[in-house]
Amino acid sequence: MNKKKIDIFDTTLRDGEQGPGCLLTLQSKLEIAEQLEFLGVDIIEAGFPVSSPADFKAVQEVSKLIKNAKVCALSRARELDIDTAVNALKNAVCPRVQLGIGTSDIHIKNKFNSTRDDILAVAFKMVRYASNKIEEVQFFAEDAGRADNLFLAKMVENVIEAGATIVNLPDTNGFCTPFEYYEKIKFVIENVSNMHKAKISVHCHNDLGMATANTIAGLLAGASQAEGTINGVGERAGNAALEEIVMTLIIKDLPIFTTVDPRYISKLSKMVEIAMSNPVQANKAIVGRNAFAHSSGIHQDGVLKDRSNYEIIDPAMIGFELPDLILTARSGRAALRHRMEILDIQFQENEFEQYYAYFLQVADTKSIVADSDLIDLCKSRSRKV
């Protein structure tokens, strides 16, 4: 099968940082950008330069640092925003400006008090303006998720005509289901006459918990670029988590692929978690601390026989140092025996059942039985066995 390469667009430093309480220092932004480059993402969105002097500086410094990935800066459909973004990107090896405007009727009426025709005209004018200042222009059709598909197709054709070579169709409010988003992307691709001159990008938010599923659906419908953030950080319920998109592309046999090197995912996730003081939920897919933890007896026994019984990803693929089995009240004999052997706790075979009974008594009083608990338990009980 001839597979198509998907560009991975990271927006941890821009949309991710928009999450409440997720502000990053310049130093953290540079460290994260460097790791993103090791990870091999294709584009790093570094900030929104007109929004503050600190964001301008961040885009400027990331532009100087990054050599392989493209560096993108956000802008509204306004001349001052575009000029400021172009200026901040001056030192980037491959700069890109992403500018856009609301495209749903809700945004057109309630945000801009405008009309579809006027919005089309502003978008055309500003994309043309930006295209005269910088080679690569990405347009975002904000709230595309709730926009009328026919109007969206008209908008996409309009901005490609004006010079955009990437068109982002964000599900800004995480409103779509995967099937709806698939149909939307497919409809646009099939109904835009100059589509061959541009790529479609997908950018999904997680308000209904479907951001990753929607992203994959959009890619399967024909989009060529996926946008997301590390740990899924971002406005409200966040953005599509980049690690989930990347690992889906890597482990599933799909007609699309990424060149991202997943071995940096675990480190980057920790780095973002600490820099944003934004703890990753324990059961978060791929990077949560329980993502590779097995607690029940049936699962632990299966994992001890062969990890693939209950793991679809080898944790080493994402650079995750595997914790050993966690002992809880749901753990079975196989896990207890395994842990006792690791801790070099000597026991007679005929004593084991008694140890297991004592272990369960302790486990019923604790959520996790630590190694120290196990050692204490075995020491105190060995006098009595």
For ligand KIV, give the closer residue by CB, 17 or 37: 17
CA distance 104 to 150: 11
Contact (CB, 8 A) for 103 and 155: yes
Taking the least distance from each CB to ligand KIV, the nearer of 58 and 293 is 58
CB of 74 to ligand KIV, least distance (A): 6
Q: How far is the CB of 56 from ligand KIV (least distance, A)?
A: 17
Q: Where on the chain is the footprint of Zn ion (CB under 5 A)? A: 15
* Contact between 15 and ligand KIV per CB under 6 A: yes
Interface with ligand KIV, residue 299, by CB under 6 A: no
What's the half-sphere exposure (Cβ side, CA atoms, 13 Å) at 161? 13
- CB of residue 142 to ligand KIV, shortest distance in Å: 5
Nearest to 180 by CA among 205, 214, 154, 152: 214
Instruction: Between 168 and 266, name the residue whose CB sits nearer to ligand KIV.
Output: 168
Angle (nearest 5°) at CA 381 between 375 and 384: 155
Which is nearer to Zn ion, 16 or 262 (by Cβ)?
16
Partner that binds at residue 142, options ligand KIV, Zn ion, none, CB closer than 5 to 8 Å by kind: ligand KIV
In the complex, the smallest distance separating the C-beta of residue 201 from ligand KIV, rounded to whole angstroms, is 9
Question: Rg of the chain over CA atoms, in angstroms?
Answer: 25
Q: How far is the CB of 144 from Zn ion (least distance, A)?
A: 11
CA distance 265 to 261: 8
Under the binding rule (CB under 6 A), the answer on residue 142 touching ligand KIV is: yes
Nearer to ligand KIV by C-beta: 205 or 284? 205
Residue 238 to residues 20, 176, 230, 371, Cα–Cα distance (Å): 10, 15, 10, 36
By CB under 6 A, what part of segment 145-174 binds ligand KIV?
Answer: 168, 170, 172
Measured from the CB atom, the residue of 15 and 157 that comes closer to ligand KIV is: 15
**Least Å from the CB of residue 299 to Zn ion:** 36
Please say which residue, 95 or 262, places its beta carbon nearer to ligand KIV: 95
| Residue 173 Cα distances to 41, 104, 293, 335, angstroms | 24, 11, 32, 44
Q: Say how many C-beta atoms besides its own lie within 10 A of residue 350's C-beta.
A: 8
The minimum distance between CB 171 and Zn ion, in angstroms, equals: 9
With CB cut-offs between 5 and 8 Å by kind, which of Zn ion, ligand KIV, none does residue 168 bind?
ligand KIV
Sites of contact with ligand KIV (CB under 6 A) = 15, 74, 140, 142, 168, 170, 172, 203, 205
